[in-house]
Structure 1
Amino acid sequence: MVDVAAPELGTLAFVIVCVVSFLGSAITAAFSIGGGLLLIGTMSALLPPAAVIPVHAVVMTGSNAGRSGLLLSHVDWRIIGWFAAGALVGGIVGAQVVLSLDPSILRLSIAGFILFTQWGPKFALPTGAPFFALAGSLSMFLTLFVGASGPFITAILSRIPEFSRQALIATAGACMTLQHGGKVMIFGLAGFPYSDWLPLMATALAAGFAGTFLGTRILKRIDEAFFRKALKAVLTALAAWLVWLAFSE
């Protein structure tokens, strides 16, 4: 890992990142996805490239932990256990090859999977332990390279028939807390200077929790049928954005 000291960010850039952290966390708390990609897109425009994914990981760990904490009674711990086991394997493998794969190929792969789950033939996904362990491994591997793999996790969990919108968002939040937390450790061991970025991360974390609190209040007022339609629309839009990002690079 290249040593990336925090530059003197202008006041406007600092405020933009924190405001987007607030808005992104509110969006994710209400619809399970969207905020992570919005934040990483903003950071990509304002921060040094090598700092984007590690700093984003810290902010998203806090945002997702807050979300799953506020909806703790809805978390499906059976899924979390197997997801964590798979994420450990994915993290170990991914750490060996981090930054050596083409992010464009990975973005196109995620976009294709999302579009298939939302618009492809309807069939029951496996729900056993091996499937969730595999999902944890793949998503952990992917997030090391593209930063935000929330749509991948949400696309999988959204196909579980018995999941309410609260269970979907709470369980996805717990999965992504593990995932981003693991990523923070991996980049820390690789030598990323987190302490240099502490002011920005702390402020963005506080803004993110405020957004999460607002988003969970909105979630409780959303109709289930509307939520499912909106989720499909947001997933599709995010897949299209990933395709655009892949080809723009």
Structure 2
Amino acid sequence: MVTIESIALLFLSAFVAFSLSAVSGGGAGLLLIPVIGFVAPVVQVPAILSIGTATSSVSRIVAFKTHIQWKIVGWFVPAAVPAVFLGAWLLRFVNPHYLELGLGLFLISNWIFLFRKKNTSAEDRPPHRSLLLVGFFAGFLSGLTGAVGLLFNRFYLRWGMTKEQIVATRAANEVVLHIIKIVLYTMFGLLNLKVAAFGFAIAIASIASSWFMTWGLSRISESLFRTAGYVSMVISGLVMTFQSVNVLVEQNNASVTFSPIALGVESKIQWQNAGIAFEFQFDEGLEFEQTVSMNDVPEEVQKIILAHQGNASNIVVEEVHGLNGHSFEAYYFSDNKLLKKCEFPATR
């Protein structure tokens, strides 16, 4: 549902995010993903972002057009355009939270660059042909998520461009991708009036931010610009990772527990309907246990397990791998009460 409160939240968040992205060299979309997720379904996030980021790219091209590095654009865009189609098509089938988790971890890995030298010599710059690979992955991930600017910020920084050149060149690289994505999202039924309303709010905020940053960017040093870029990557990664982990834990009924046992400790991991346990005993060492179905147990061991069933109405079997070998543990239940536990060596 579109409300004044949700529109105001997106506008203010987008203005701050696009202003920060101008200072850090990108990342407004990644910063906005968690905010948009509060007011719209996850599958609509890329379409909403694309409307706003397309407008932002156009406004930045107008504001910083003299700083565009057209040679980089010429290598980047031809590889990125076809990849956008693949990413947008896969959006209908891929759980975006797994992708968000991967992107978040990648962004966090950039913390090491906060402590490296800031100057980039011409010899350290990547070859132009590498732009084909960068463009492909940028287009593919952009089609899936709606925004991946910060993921490739490291590449722009390695080219030794000024802050104005990075802002302008990124905008020129991405404007075509965003326009294509809007068309594709419409064709795939991911664009409706609600998406358009939220996207329009972000678009207006991006224009206001671009106008504001034509004044503010010139007052920021190159050193601060680079540092802010890497800091933004790490912060965005932490937010994305935390949010995606929370959602995946809830979706898959996941849990991790620790409990003391005789002469050791046991850790149990629950994921969907699968149960995995790690057990450590001082006298036996580390053991890995996983709940399995009776069909996964060797036939000769099945016969032995069933021979011990007695009055049990239900049997739960765990496969155990440890320093002392490979075995199976059978738990016999009746009316949800544990009657006994038996261990059987695995035979082949």
Question: What is the rounded CA distance, in whole Å, between the counterparts of 1:92 and 1:37 in structure 2?
Answer: 20
Q: TM-score, normalised to structure 1's length?
A: 0.85
Helix, strand or coil: the match of 2:158? Answer: coil
Question: What is the rounded CA distance, in whole Å, between the counterparts of 1:197 and 1:106 in structure 2?
Answer: 21
Tell me what 1:13 maps to.
Answer: 6
Tell me what 1:158 maps to.
Answer: 157
- Bigger shift: 94-103 or 208-217? 94-103
Residue 91 (structure 2) pairs with residue 93 (structure 1): no
Using the TM superposition, give the Cα deviation of residue 139 of structure 1 relative to its aligned residue in structure 2, in angstroms: 1.2
Q: Deviations over 1:102-146 (max 9, x none)?
A: 4344334434544555626889352223x1121111111112223
Conserved? CA contact 1:111–1:243, under 8 Å: yes
Q: Deviations over 1:147-192 (max 9, x none)?
A: 320111212211112x111111111122222222221121122133
Tell me what 2:172 maps to.
Answer: 174
Q: TM-score, normalised to structure 2's length?
A: 0.62
Using the TM superposition, give the Cα deviation of residue 216 of structure 1 relative to its aligned residue in structure 2, in angstroms: 2.9
Structure (1/2) with the larger helix percentage: 1
Question: What is the rounded CA distance, in whole Å, between the counterparts of 2:175 and 2:21 in structure 1?
Answer: 13
Tell me what 1:4 maps to.
Answer: none
Q: Percent of aligned pairs with the same residue?
A: 21
Conserved? CA contact 1:14–1:200, under 8 Å: yes
Question: What is the rounded CA distance, in whole Å, between the counterparts of 2:174 and 2:167 in structure 1?
Answer: 10
1:47 corresponds, among 40, 47, 52, to 40
Conserved? CA contact 1:107–1:246, under 8 Å: yes
Tell me what 2:245 maps to.
Answer: 247
Using the TM superposition, give the Cα deviation of residue 87 of structure 1 relative to its aligned residue in structure 2, in angstroms: 1.1
- Bigger shift: 15-24 or 199-208? 199-208
Change (3 A) 1:207 1:104: closer
Conserved? CA contact 1:114–1:155, under 8 Å: no
Conserved? CA contact 1:26–1:212, under 8 Å: yes
Tell me what 2:127 maps to.
Answer: 127
Tell me what 1:222 maps to.
Answer: 220
Where do 1:40-119 residues align within 5 Å? 40-116=33-109, 119=112
Q: Deviations over 1:70-127 (max 9, x none)?
A: 1111111111122111112212322442232343443344345445556268893522
- Greater RCO structure (CA 8 Å; 6+ sep): 1
Using the TM superposition, give the Cα deviation of residue 22 of structure 1 relative to its aligned residue in structure 2, in angstroms: 1.7
Aligned length: 240
Q: Which amino acid aligns with 2:155?
A: I
Structure index of larger Rg: 2
Question: What is the rounded CA distance, in whole Å, between the counterparts of 1:25 and 1:76 in structure 2?
Answer: 21
Using the TM superposition, give the Cα deviation of residue 54 of structure 1 relative to its aligned residue in structure 2, in angstroms: 0.8
Q: Deviations over 1:184-220 (max 9, x none)?
A: 1211221334456444433432222011211232111
- Bigger shift: 95-104 or 205-214? 95-104
Q: Deviations over 1:215-247 (max 9, x none)?
A: 232111001122222222222222222322332
Conserved? CA contact 2:90–2:144, under 8 Å: no
Any gaps of 5 or more consecutive residues in structure 2? 248-348
Conserved? CA contact 1:118–1:155, under 8 Å: no
Q: CA RMSD in A?
A: 2.4
Question: What is the rounded CA distance, in whole Å, between the counterparts of 1:14 and 1:117 in structure 2?
Answer: 33
Conserved? CA contact 1:27–1:215, under 8 Å: no
- Bigger shift: 64-73 or 54-63? 64-73
Q: Which amino acid aligns with 1:126?
A: P
Q: Which amino acid aligns with 2:141?
A: L
Any gaps of 5 or more consecutive residues in structure 1? 1-6
Helix, strand or coil: the match of 2:31? Answer: helix
Tell me what 1:3 maps to.
Answer: none
Conserved? CA contact 2:23–2:228, under 8 Å: no
Change (3 A) 1:133 1:56: same
2:30 corresponds, among 37, 41, 46, to 37
